[in-house]
């Protein structure tokens, strides 16, 4: 394979939003309990949070974290998670057939996030609950003092408001699996009225309306149109959820997932524009891809789900603990490329999730924590895809993208921050290296760093990082040379690389 990428650093397209590198912690499985929080762990701090996990989170670098769900939030009573821990009730979580002990709630999680400089993105329950409880939670969180709710927060230990800016109006309300699932019209109305009330209480907040749960939902498109017509004047973002997996060995389609995400985002952007024209609105509504990842969801739905729902109500069951391979990490890299490429329309994005549950970080109760393969593309992109995306044209042959048709063999996005050009590039070919020429850079160009994630020596595309071999897969140096103002680099087959 050969490819030529012509970069035009003088043509900035859009600033890369820092919120593009968000994550998600749901009260699900072991994401919270024995994930971020485990008071009996040898590394636990005074608040019971694991310092080994926190160190990996700091290294990963998420900028914003969505909390507390997910499907969980649609049955959650936020009041259960505040006040003295000893008085908090244990409840059934019908979304994940689990027992919620409420040891961690708003105060604990907000404190954990703020200590790490991570913005909190709070979801409200529009499943079993409605406007009143959403407004109460906002007043409790953001109002300074002098009301029953704000003073209750102060009595509970937070003298200063949490100052939460981004609020999700429910979760996946289009999905029949959702507690309190609604039609688009029903959801559009409740989202509009809840959002209006919330903005009267705190006009500084930003609201995310729930869009479609995936691009294959039968209601996709009509759902967005209805919600935007009803609530477009009050919301600031509309969500997209997008999970990808390799099904029945169809690796060609899987490796083309970035193309599918491109199309999904473009479709939602077109619908936003269409409704703006229809309603005469000039407001810029962002796309919040507030759940995205590789998730072996078919296996969960067909194999794991029935035993879970027929079994006991465990407090911290092992759920959705997908172990990620090299192939999965390359796909995550290409999904990141897609999000960055859409910096003009995607206002934020949340890798779902952070620890243990379909997560870049794994931890064992009482044991170690380690980086999954997918940790690396996220960490590098969050650290280095800064500044603006710049124009780049790509000449490369096509490869079979399975059900996505012919797709370019490599996929790239380029950012410019001060003097540093960063090229994030996926080679989708399973067996061919790609000889890539990067042109259009100043003649005095230097390569600051070049690294790739690919199949390690002695491994194969299924190799993953495990408790026994936590460092099997990682970023390795890539040889890149400068010749007459162009950069020449060979991308290994099945790889995601970053050059600066
Ligand atoms: O992230 C796991 C689940 O995926 C979330 O709870 C839900 O919103 C989505 O279906």
Specify the pTM: 0.98
pLDDT band at 258 (very low <50, low <70, confident <90, very high): very high
**Ligand 1: distance of its center to the CA of 300 in Å?**
12
How many Å apart are CA 419 and CA 438, to the nearest integer? 16
pLDDT digits (tens, 9 = 90+) for 49-105: 999 999 999 999 999 999 999 999 999 999 999 999 999 999 999 999 999 999 999
Q: How confident is the model at residue 133, as a pLDDT?
A: 98
Biggest CA–CA distance in the chain, Å, is 70
Average pLDDT over residues 23-27: 98
Strand, coil or helix: 494: coil
Average pLDDT over residues 209-237: 98
Average pLDDT over residues 289-300: 97
pLDDT band at 38 (very low <50, low <70, confident <90, very high): very high
Catalytic residues: 172, 291
pLDDT digits (tens, 9 = 90+) for 424-442: 999 999 999 999 999 999 8
Give the chain's length.
500
pLDDT digits (tens, 9 = 90+) for 384-416: 999 999 999 999 999 999 999 999 999 999 999
Give the class (CATH, top level) of 2-10+388-499.
mainly beta
In the chain, list all ranges with CATH 2.60.40.1180: 2-10+388-499
Q: Which residue has the tokens 């230990």?
A: 157
| 8 A C-beta contact, residue 330 and residue 496 | yes
pLDDT band at 25 (very low <50, low <70, confident <90, very high): very high
**Ligand 1: distance of its center to the CA of 171 in Å?**
8
Q: How confident is the model at residue 485, as a pLDDT?
A: 87
Q: How confident is the model at residue 113, as a pLDDT?
A: 98
| 8 A C-beta contact, residue 340 and residue 487 | no
Average pLDDT over residues 351-365: 98
Pocket, ligand 1, Cβ cutoff 6 A: 26, 69-71, 171-172, 291, 352-353
- Rounded to two decimals, the ipTM of the complex is 0.99
* Pairing, β 119-124 against β 166-169: parallel
Which residue, among 442, 451, 444, has the nearest Cα to 383 in the 3D structure? 451
How many Å apart are CA 181 and CA 220, to the nearest integer? 15
Q: How confident is the model at residue 444, as a pLDDT?
A: 87
Q: How confident is the model at residue 442, as a pLDDT?
A: 86
User: HSE-up of 156 (CA within 13 Å, CB side)?
Assistant: 26
Neighbouring CB atoms inside 10 A of 318's CB total: 13
Which residue, among 166, 179, 223, has the nearest Cα to 349 in the 3D structure? 166
In the chain, list all ranges with CATH 3.20.20.80: 17-384
How many Å apart are CA 367 and CA 487, to the nearest integer? 44
Please name the residue ranges forming H helices in 280-318.
297-299, 305-310
Average pLDDT over residues 214-233: 98
Q: Which residue has the tokens 């997932």?
A: 257
Using a pLDDT cut of 90, give the percent of the chain over it: 99
> Taking 90 as the threshold, does the pLDDT of residue 484 lie above it?
no
- What residue's CA is closest to ligand 1, atom 5? 70
Average pLDDT over residues 473-497: 96
On whether the 17-384 domain is CATH 3.20.20.80, my answer is yes
Candidate of 93, 168, 171, 317 to mutate for ligand 1, largest count of ligand atoms within 8 Å of Cβ: 171
Cis peptide before 449 (omega within 30 of 0): no
| 8 A C-beta contact, residue 188 and residue 230 | yes
**Per-residue b or e along 415-431, where b marks 16 or more CB atoms closer than 10 Å to that residue's CB:** bbeeeebbbbbbbbbee
Nearest ligand 1 atom, CA 320: 2
Strand, coil or helix: 111: helix
How many Å apart are CA 106 and CA 32, to the nearest integer? 12
> Taking 90 as the threshold, does the pLDDT of residue 443 lie above it?
no
Average pLDDT, the chain: 97
Average pLDDT over residues 218-231: 98
Q: How confident is the model at residue 296, as a pLDDT?
A: 97
Nearest ligand 1 atom, CA 213: 10
Q: What is the DSSP string of 380-411?
A: HHHHH--SEEEEEEEEE-EEE-GGG-EEESEE
């Amino acid at each position: 394979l050969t490819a030529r990428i012509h970069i035009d650093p003088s043509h900035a397209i859009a600033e890369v939003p820092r919120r593009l590198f968000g994550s998600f912690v749901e009260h699900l499985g072991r994401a919270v309990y024995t994930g971020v929080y485990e008071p009996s762990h040898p590394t636990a701090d005074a608040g019971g949070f694991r310092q080994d996990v926190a160190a990996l989170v700091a290294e990963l670098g998420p900028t914003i974290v969505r909390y507390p769900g997910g499907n969980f939030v649609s049955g959650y009573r936020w009041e259960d998670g505040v006040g003295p821990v000893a008085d908090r009730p244990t409840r059934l979580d019908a979304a994940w057939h689990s027992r919620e002990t409420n040891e961690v709630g708003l105060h604990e999680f907000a404190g954990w996030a703020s200590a790490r400089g991570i913005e909190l993105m709070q979801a409200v329950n529009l499943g079993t609950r409605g406007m009143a409880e959403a407004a109460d939670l906002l007043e409790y969180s953001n109002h300074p003092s002098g009301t029953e709710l704000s003073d209750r927060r102060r009595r509970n230990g937070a003298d200063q408001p949490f100052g939460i800016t981004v609020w999700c109006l429910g979760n996946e309300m289009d999905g029949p699996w959702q507690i309190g699932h609604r039609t688009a019209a029903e959801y559009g109305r409740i989202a509009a009225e809840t959002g209006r009330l919330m903005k009267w209480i705190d006009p500084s907040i930003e609201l995310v309306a729930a869009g479609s749960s995936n691009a294959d939902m039968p209601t996709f498109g009509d759902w967005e149109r209805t919600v935007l017509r009803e609530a477009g004047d009050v919301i600031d973002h509309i969500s997209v959820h997008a999970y990808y997996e390799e099904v029945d060995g169809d690796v060609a389609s899987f490796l083309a997932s970035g193309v599918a995400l491109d199309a999904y985002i473009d479709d939602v952007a077109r619908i936003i524009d269409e409704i703006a024209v229809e309603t005469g609105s000039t407001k810029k509504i962002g796309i919040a891809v507030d759940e995205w990842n590789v998730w072996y969801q078919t296996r969960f739905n067909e194999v794991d789900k029935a035993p879970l729902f027929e079994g006991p109500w465990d407090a911290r069951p092992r759920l959705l603990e997908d172990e990620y391979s090299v192939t999965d990490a390359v796909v995550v890299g290409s999904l990141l490329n897609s999000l960055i490429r859409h910096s003009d329309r995607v206002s934020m994005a949340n890798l779902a999730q952070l620890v243990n549950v379909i997560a870049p970080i794994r931890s064992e109760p009482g044991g170690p924590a380690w980086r999954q393969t997918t940790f690396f593309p996220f960490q590098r992109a969050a650290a280095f895809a800064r500044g603006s995306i710049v124009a780049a044209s790509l000449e490369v042959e096509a490869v079979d993208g399975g059900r996505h048709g012919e797709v370019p063999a490599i996929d790239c996005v380029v950012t410019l921050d001060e003097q540093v050009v960063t090229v994030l590039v996926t080679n989708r070919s399973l067996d061919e290296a790609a000889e890539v020429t990067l042109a259009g850079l100043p003649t005095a160009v230097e390569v600051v760093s070049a690294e790739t994630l690919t199949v390690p020596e002695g491994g194969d595309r299924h190799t993953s990082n495990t408790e026994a071999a936590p460092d099997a897969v990682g970023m390795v140096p890539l040889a890149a040379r400068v010749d007459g103002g162009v950069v020449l680099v060979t991308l290994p087959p099945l790889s995601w690389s970053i050059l600066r």
